[in-house]
Structure 1
Amino acid sequence: MSLREQARAWLEESLSGEFAHARGLGGPGREHEGHEIRHAWERHLGRAGWTCLGWPEKYGGRAASLDDQVAFHEEYARADAPARVGHIGEGLIGPTILEFGTEEQKDRFLPPIQRGDELWCQGYSEPEAGSDLANVQTKAHLSGDEWVITGQKVWTSLAHVADWCFVLCRTGRDRYRGLSYLLVPMRQPGVQVRPIVQLTGTSEFNEVFFDGARTAAGHILGAPGEGWRVAMATLGHERGVSTLGQQIGFRRELDRVIETARRTGAADDPVLRDRLVRAWLELEIMRLNALRMLRERGPEVSIAKLYWSEWHRRLGELAQAVQGRAGLVTDDGLNDLQRLYLFSRADTIYAGSSEIQRNIIAERTLGLPR
């Protein structure tokens, strides 16, 4: 039996029992839904060996091929399984620790991620360092056998439920060589998390304030001053294989938009019908492009982020258009298409704005002048 077939059978069985009511919970704009049962599901995945598939077996993975990883993420999305609460650990910091961590760090941090026991958040953006990430001002200095961290991070996804944060901070004066990459426990004095209310009315992003927070001297990836190199590697992992599963979710959203267009009569409008067809074609192109980029994993991956974020934002606008006037009002909370429209406004900003992605493509891929 292929891994795809195994995953399909396991997901069907697992999502028909105690986790049946977890189907479809969570996701962008809906991270407030069912956190406790989704965390229990994360642990269930870990016990069954369905987390961290591409990791070496030594650290709990299956050393699965890229094709098998893609197959699992596609089956996961097709099963309408709940949005993962451990994706930052598995998809970002885990691979970064595998690449840069010491054996001691791998033994300490990787098993709890694989088991779903410890959740992570990303401490990159600051009020004055969003797209210009190298401008971070959060500072850290060694005091005995500990790093002491002071500063502020913003737009920190899921910080309110995270156990650990990987923090890009300034340990020297040089713009790039003065940055270091620390692994910081969230549940300690000196760490304050303040939710940010979004357009959707929910709060999955946060401000995080470090006021003398501490972490062990050994909780640094790479050497002091190598934080920029490590941080860029993390961003490369962020464009990883799970994006193929993300596109199954996009397909589901597009199907809902098309269904609404037929119901409201918007599909009879030739202009809107043309936009629907274009959205379908562009999603097909997105999948083919994503498969190619996964195998190249160079600066070209910025093309994928630019493409899907701009496409998804246009889909949100199309979702509003096919609803007509009904899309402008709500009686009892947002409907799915209204939430899609509001949350997708952020897609072209977070995880690297479209402007920054265009600069990366121009300078690093096409070789154009800065």
Structure 2
Amino acid sequence: MTSQLIIVLTVVTAVSVIVAGYLRKQIKRLRNIQAEYRLLKDHNLAGVCRTDLDGIVLDANYASYSVLGYDRLEDIVGIDIKTHYQSPEERMRIAERLKKTGLLTGVEVHMKRADGQPFWALYNIAVTKNPSTGRSEVVATTMDITAMKKTQEDLQAAKEAAEAANRAKDQFLANMSHEFRTPLNGVLGMTALALDCDLPPEVRAYLEEVKTSGAGLLRIIDDVLEYSRLEADRLVLSSEEFSLREMFEEIVAKLSASAQARNLSLGWTSEASLPSRVFADRRRLSQVLLHLVENAIKFTDRGGVLMRVRGASLEGYRLALHVAVSDSGVGIAAEKLQSIFEAFTQADDSNSRRFGGTGLGLAISSKIAVAMGGKVWAESSLGSGSIFHLCVDVPLLPPRTALGPDLAPQPVCA
């Protein structure tokens, strides 16, 4: 009997030692987990806070209680978190939303610290059940976004200031348009009258230079004002019935003197029969083509400039009009083909000194083409001339328009 008791005690002791060892390992493991949890909690840049359903703080990490203006965890435990809301109405709205959904993300809240200092916080809030107690709790993560909100406000203020400055600029240009043009038109008018008189050759040469320079200055003023209107999206398109052929003839007639002055040929050709009449914004369409042809003349020293016109019929009585303005000029580097359509830009900065101009013509042409539902682009290489393309849909007049057989549907704007 004694030997049996000894055996039982020995077994119990051995089991106790094994169980005690296992418990020590589990306790150590649990403490390590708790330490890791505290490490993650206390060093998390985002604040983490637990409250009961009434908003009483149960636990919080350093980032959470420090952003609220507390130095120790003990100072915030038991505090009603609702007292840190700036607006009772905002607090009630958040409570109602949380009650309905149980989860809120990305909520920007105007809060106040323990000393009353206001700040902005970004909250993610969820209602969860504590596995230890079985009670429902609220877990919230928070970040101080005061600096971000200040940056947003500064950006908004800067945006509003820029818009105000832009409006002031537009108003200034609108007001000054008359002031610019009146004296300049007076100079040009008096110069034209003087040139009608019998003048010595030297004086006539001087007046011709005044006329040329004045006309150039008037064009610059027109370009600046036009670009300002386009930038402000104030372009108004108006349609009228007109002949495409007459428009191309007028463009050639207007610029023939400029081409002849540089010993260049200038003309246009149609690869297909054009309709007799169309219904579109003649002034704007002509303006784009004038800019393209003028630009070609300016940068061409020898040879000539040619407008090649193609058209293809579309459904709904529309014409896909494609005009290619080719020249034998200096050409453009491939990497510059996109930038030349930006305002105040030329393919080569030295060109502005050699050829003059504001660098607005192509930018204006591109914006007008886009406003008309079309596009402008260029093909070129240095020393090999350039081809500037305009592609736009032009409405036709069904009762009086008869398309020729050469205008069968075909891709012209590909």
Larger Rg: 2
- TM-score bin (small chain): under 0.3
Normalized against structure 2, the TM-score is what? 0.22
